[in-house]
């Protein structure tokens, strides 16, 4: 479901302002006095929440209306879900205008129940939600339908049985991010995850970073980035807490595997309860929005089609070159209706399913290999996986899939010309320099890369730091919907 750009901007504005509900003056109409008691506050769903529902279950909307708000003569307090009016509350659910009590009445004794600053709380049960994006609008309107107060909530619903009966209550996507000496770029990646992956911070995802550093300064970088992303679990290589474990790790150790090895660390993070696994490396950036519908597409495809090995977030039909092999002619394949192709006949990145750059695998398939192969770091892990799934190996599903646009790119920082808005560097900054900048509170931005289309999956791009409090200024430009009338 697509929303007009303006509506999206308004919702983003509301989110940036902490979801505060305001008043919306209807074109020159008399506005009620602003006070704490004259707002409409939606407490459930939260802004941008991912609501996970069992099929046929009801969904409860909870809101409170300030005691000072009055429903004027023949006015209404109504709820809309997208375009549909789902309930009239004034103050009790009423089908008819005549059922609504008439106003106006004395101060503190409005037609909406409650007195003084007290609020009246409403709960509304809604059935029949589908897996989709929704906008809830609560409106207090006058007799002509002009809004006096409006509150909005954007949320996504995920209806379980519609997708997969066996979907477990655990995170659907287990994401493991590898990082070494690059807290600054890890911050850039995690910021882009937060901004571009819808519901990244929800029960859909589990985010884990497996990091290592070569000196104390780099370690300080990780201490800093840890504090900035409380929804991510950080694990230092060779120093994982013993409470972090998995069925695969237990099997590995029972078979005599070295619990202290990289393989041991890695297997602790491979969660047997999450059906899908994907990886990021710290020099990647999420550039395209990965919507709930697209997330659902990926796990539906991987659940239903055993011939598909992976869904790639980095490939898209515009990829025609391969940076890694230096090949200029790696044209895209012809796709079936579900955007899958046979990778065994292809060239370059189109023929490379086992990437750790945001390729989604079934945990079961991936873990079987991760248990059997020998590796001592992320590079050899990927290398071993890639050598196993060579063209012609019938043990590997022959097809892979991607989206129509890139969701991620990899910035090979060693080849980057780096631009700082206030100074220019002819050399690529070393990890040490980037780390020092980061320790001085400077952060790399990604907005200039959003929705850009490139013809390779590795894209040399400048690393750009925010100038001063640029990010702060940008969030202030986005206003909330009601501000015009103030
Ligand atoms: C859902 O809500 C409707 C209307 O309030 C009610 O009749 C129905 O029993 C509810 N269903 C469930 C499963 O709670
Ligand atoms: C992530 O979600 C948790 C719980 O829903 C919330 O407390 C936290 O503030 C969220 N963090 C971010 C960065 O959105
Ligand atoms: C291992 O982790 C603990 C707890 O986070 C920390 O105090 C300790 O310094 C770490 N050890 C090394 C060698 O970094």
Q: What is the largest CA-CA distance in the chain?
A: 81
∠ Cα 256 242 220 (to 5°): 120
Beta-sheet pairing, 359-362 with 308-312: antiparallel
Residue located nearest, by CA, to atom 7 of ligand 3: 239
Query: What is the CATH topology of the domain spanning 173-410?
Result: Spore Coat Polysaccharide Biosynthesis Protein SpsA; Chain A (3.90.550)
56 CA closest ligand 1 atom index: 13
Tokens 């977030």 label which residue?
313
Cα(134)–Cα(61) distance, integer angstroms: 13
pLDDT for position 118: 60
Give distance in angstroms: CA of 10 to centre of ligand 3.
45
Q: How far is CA 340 from CA 319, 363, 400, 422, in A?
A: 15, 20, 5, 45
Contacts of 169 (CB under 8 A, 6+ apart): none
pLDDT for position 367: 97
Give distance in angstroms: CA of 119 to centre of ligand 2.
26
pLDDT beneath 50: ranges in the chain: 1-35, 102-116, 165-168, 414-426, 469-486
pLDDT for position 403: 96
Give distance in angstroms: CA of 201 to centre of ligand 1.
30
pLDDT for position 21: 36
Fold match, 5-162 / 173-410: no
> Residue 465 has what DSSP assignment?
B
Q: At what angle are helices 262-269 and 247-254 packed, to 10 degrees? A: 150
Give distance in angstroms: CA of 191 to centre of ligand 2.
14
Q: Where are the domains of the chain?
A: 5-162, 173-410
231 lines ligand 2 (CB under 6 A): yes
pLDDT for position 476: 37
SS3 content of the chain, % helix, strand, coil (to 5): 30, 25, 45
161 phi, psi to nearest 5 deg:
-65, -20
Tell which one of 197, 231, 233, 475 to mutate to probe ligand 2, the residue whose CB is within 8 A of the most ligand atoms: 231
pLDDT for position 478: 36
245 lines ligand 2 (CB under 6 A): no
Which ligand is closest in space to the CA of residue 223?
3
CATH superfamily of 5-162: Immunoglobulins (2.60.40.10)
């Amino acid at each position: 479901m697509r929303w007009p750009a303006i509506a999206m901007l308004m919702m983003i504005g509301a989110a940036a302002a902490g979801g505060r509900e305001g008043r919306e003056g209807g074109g020159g109409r008399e506005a009620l006095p602003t006070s704490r008691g004259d707002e409409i506050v939606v407490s459930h769903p939260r802004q941008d929440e991912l609501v996970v529902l069992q099929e046929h279950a009801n969904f409860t909307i909870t809101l409170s209306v300030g005691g000072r708000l009055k429903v004027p003569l023949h006015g209404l307090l109504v709820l809309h879900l997208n375009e549909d009016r789902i309930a009239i509350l004034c103050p009790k659910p009423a089908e008819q205008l005549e059922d609504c009590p008439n106003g106006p009445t004395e101060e503190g004794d409005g037609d909406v129940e409650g007195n003084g600053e007290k609020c009246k709380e409403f709960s509304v049960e809604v059935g029949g939600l589908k897996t989709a994006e929704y906008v809830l609008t609560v409106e207090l309107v006058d007799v002509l339908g002009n809004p006096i107060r409006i509150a909005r909530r954007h949320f996504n619903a995920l209806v379980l049985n519609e997708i997969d009966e066996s979907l477990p209550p655990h995170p659907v996507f287990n994401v493991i991010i590898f990082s070494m000496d690059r807290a600054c770029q890890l911050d850039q990646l995690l910021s882009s995850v937060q901004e571009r992956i819808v519901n990244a911070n929800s029960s859909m995802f589990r985010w884990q970073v497996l990091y290592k550093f070569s000196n104390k300064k780099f370690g300080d970088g990780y201490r800093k980035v840890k504090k900035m992303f409380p929804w991510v679990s950080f694990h230092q290589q060779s120093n994982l807490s013993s409470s972090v474990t998995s069925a695969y790790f237990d099997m590995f150790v029972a078979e005599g595997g070295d619990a202290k090895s990289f393989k041991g660390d890695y297997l602790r993070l491979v969660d047997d309860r999450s059906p899908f696994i994907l990886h990021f490396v710290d020099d990647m950036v999420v550039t395209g929005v990965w919507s709930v519908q697209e997330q659902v597409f990926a796990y539906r495809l991987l659940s239903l089609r055993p011939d598909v090995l992976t869904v790639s977030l980095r490939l898209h039909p515009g990829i025609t070159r391969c940076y890694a092999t230096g090949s200029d002619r790696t044209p895209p394949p012809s796709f079936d209706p579900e955007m899958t192709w046979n990778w065994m006949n292809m060239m370059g990145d189109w023929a490379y399913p086992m990437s750790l750059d945001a390729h989604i695998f079934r945990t079961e398939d991936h873990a079987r290999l991760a248990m059997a192969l020998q590796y001592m770091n992320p590079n050899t892990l990927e290398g071993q996986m890639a050598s196993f799934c060579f063209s012609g190996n019938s043990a590997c599903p022959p097809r892979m899939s991607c989206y129509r646009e890139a969701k991620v790119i990899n910035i090979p920082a060693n080849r980057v010309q780096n631009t700082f808005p206030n100074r220019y560097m002819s050399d690529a900054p070393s990890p040490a320099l980037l780390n020092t900048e980061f320790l001085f509170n400077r952060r790399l931005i990604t907005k200039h890369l959003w929705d850009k289309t490139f013809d390779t999956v590795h894209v040399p791009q400048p690393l750009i730091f925010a100038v001063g409090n640029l990010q702060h200024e940008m969030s202030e430009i986005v206003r909330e919907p009601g501000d015009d009338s103030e």
